[in-house]
C-alpha cells in the first residue's frame, strides 16, 4: 500500500470517526447497511429471484487442495413466510456429471448411479451457512423480528478502508461484516461457530472480491474465499454471475430417478 493510498484511507477512517461521534452504534450501523444495500443494487437486489454462478470450485483439507470441479451453482429465492428462503442446485463436472440439490428440509447427491440423500450434518451446515451469509441476510432476513445491528466504527483492514458492523439474530447467531468505505460493498465476514468435536468455537472468515454487475444493477462477487481458523476450506472463482429465474423442477428430484442406499446403511447390513 503506497503512502498516498494509506493517507487517503486513514483520512476516510478519521472522517468517519468524527461523524460517528454524533451517532449511536445502532444509527451508524443502519446508515452503513443502507449504503451497502444501495451499492448491491437496492430494490433489484432485495427482489432478485435467483442467480447463476459459473466457474470453478475448490475444496481444501489441511490447507491443501482436496477437490476441484467446474461448477454451475443455481440459486432460487423463495417467497416470504418460509423459515429458509433459498434453495440451491449445483451442477459439478465438465459435463455436469454430478447434481447436488440443497433445500431447507432435504438434500440429494445425484450421479449416474442414482440419487443419494445428503448426510444430515451436511444439510445442517448448509442451513447454518445460509443463515449467517451476509448476502442472504441482506436479501431475505432484514425484516425478521429481534434482529439487531451494531457498528464497531471505521478501520483499515487488509489495506482497505472499512466500516465494521455486527449482526445478531434472535437465536444468538452473530456475524461481523467488513464493508468497504468507498464502494460500500461487503468484503469480508466472520462467523464464530461451535465445533462439538473440539468443544470450542472456530473462526470462519469469508472474503468477497471482484464484484461485477450480474444484471438489473445487482452487484455480485466473482471470487469467494473461505477459511477456518486460518486454514483455507473453500474457494469459488466465477467466470460469470447472472440474475435469473429458474423453474421449481430444477430443485427437486427428477421423476423416476433411481434411489441409492446410503453407504453406511449398506455396510451396517453386511455386518
pLDDT, one tens digit per residue, over 165-189 is 999 999 999 999 999 999 999 999 9
Do 102 and 92 form a contact (C-beta atoms < 8 A)? no
Average pLDDT over residues 46-73: 94
Q: What is the pLDDT of residue 199?
A: 82
Contacts 24+ apart (CB under 8 A), 87-92: 87/251, 88/126, 88/251, 89/246, 89/250, 89/251, 92/57
Place of cell 451436511: 122
Share of the chain above pLDDT 90, in %: 80
Q: What is the pLDDT of residue 267?
A: 45
* Alpha-carbon span 29 to 212, nearest angstrom: 25
The pLDDT tens digits of the residues spanning 79-136 come to: 988 889 999 999 999 999 999 999 989 999 999 999 999 999 999 999 999 999 999 9
Q: What is the pLDDT of residue 269?
A: 45
Count CB atoms within 10 A of the CB of residue 150. Answer: 16
Q: What is the pLDDT of residue 55?
A: 98
- Element at 189 (helix H, strand E): strand 186-195
Angle 79-242-224 from CA coordinates, rounded to 5°: 95
Average pLDDT, the chain: 90
Average pLDDT over residues 134-144: 96
Q: What is the pLDDT of residue 61?
A: 87
Q: What is the pLDDT of residue 194?
A: 82
Q: What is the pLDDT of residue 19?
A: 55
Nearest Cα residue to 190 out of 214, 211, 212, 162? 162
The pLDDT tens digits of the residues spanning 224-252 come to: 999 999 999 999 999 999 999 999 999 99
Average pLDDT over residues 21-38: 94
Q: Decide if pLDDT at 4 tops 90.
A: no
Q: What is the pLDDT of residue 196?
A: 81
Contacts 24+ apart (CB under 8 A), 251-258: 251/74, 251/76, 251/87, 251/88, 251/89, 251/101, 251/103, 252/101, 253/101, 253/108, 253/110, 253/115, 254/110, 257/110, 257/114, 257/115, 258/113, 258/114, 258/115
Tell me the domains of the chain and their CATH numbers.
9-270 (2.50.20.10)
Longest dimension (CA), the chain: 70
Average pLDDT over residues 16-36: 84
Give the confidence band of 17 by pLDDT, cuts at 50, 70, 90.
low
Give the confidence band of 197 by pLDDT, cuts at 50, 70, 90.
confident
Place of cell 461487503: 186
Give the confidence band of 40 by pLDDT, cuts at 50, 70, 90.
very high
DSSP 176: E
Amino acid at each position: 500500500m503506497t503512502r498516498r493510498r494509506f493517507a487517503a484511507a486513514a483520512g476516510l477512517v478519521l472522517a468517519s470517526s468524527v461523524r460517528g461521534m454524533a451517532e449511536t452504534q445502532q444509527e451508524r450501523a443502519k446508515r452503513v447497511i443502507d449504503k451497502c444495500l444501495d451499492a448491491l443494487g437496492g430494490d433489484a437486489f432485495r427482489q432478485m429471484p435467483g442467480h447463476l454462478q459459473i466457474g470453478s470450485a475448490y475444496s481444501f483439507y489441511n490447507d491443501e487442495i482436496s477437490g476441484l470441479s467446474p461448477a454451475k451453482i443455481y440459486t432460487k429465492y423463495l417467497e416470504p413466510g418460509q423459515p429458509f428462503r433459498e434453495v440451491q442446485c449445483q451442477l459439478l463436472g465438465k459435463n455436469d456429471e454430478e447434481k447436488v440439490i440443497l433445500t431447507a428440509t432435504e438434500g440429494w447427491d445425484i450421479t449416474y448411479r442414482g440419487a443419494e440423500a445428503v448426510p444430515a450434518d451436511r444439510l445442517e451446515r448448509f442451513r447454518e451457512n445460509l443463515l449467517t451469509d451476509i448476502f442472504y441476510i441482506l436479501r431475505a432476513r432484514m425484516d425478521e423480528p429481534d434482529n439487531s445491528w451494531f457498528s464497531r466504527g471505521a478501520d483499515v483492514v487488509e489495506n482497505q478502508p472499512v466500516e465494521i458492523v455486527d449482526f445478531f439474530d434472535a437465536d444468538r447467531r452473530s456475524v461481523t461484516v467488513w464493508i468497504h468505505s468507498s464502494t460500500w460493498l461487503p468484503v469480508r465476514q466472520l462467523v464464530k461457530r461451535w465445533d462439538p468435536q473440539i468443544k470450542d468455537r472456530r473462526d470462519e472468515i469469508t472474503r468477497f472480491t471482484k464484484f461485477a454487475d450480474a444484471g438489473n444493477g445487482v452487484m455480485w462477487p466473482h471470487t469467494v474465499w473461505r477459511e477456518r481458523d486460518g486454514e483455507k476450506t473453500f474457494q469459488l472463482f466465477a467466470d460469470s454471475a447472472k440474475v435469473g429465474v429458474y423453474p421449481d423442477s430444477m430443485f427437486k428430484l427428477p421423476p423416476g430417478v433411481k434411489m441409492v442406499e446410503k453407504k453406511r446403511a449398506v455396510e451396517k447390513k453386511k455386518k
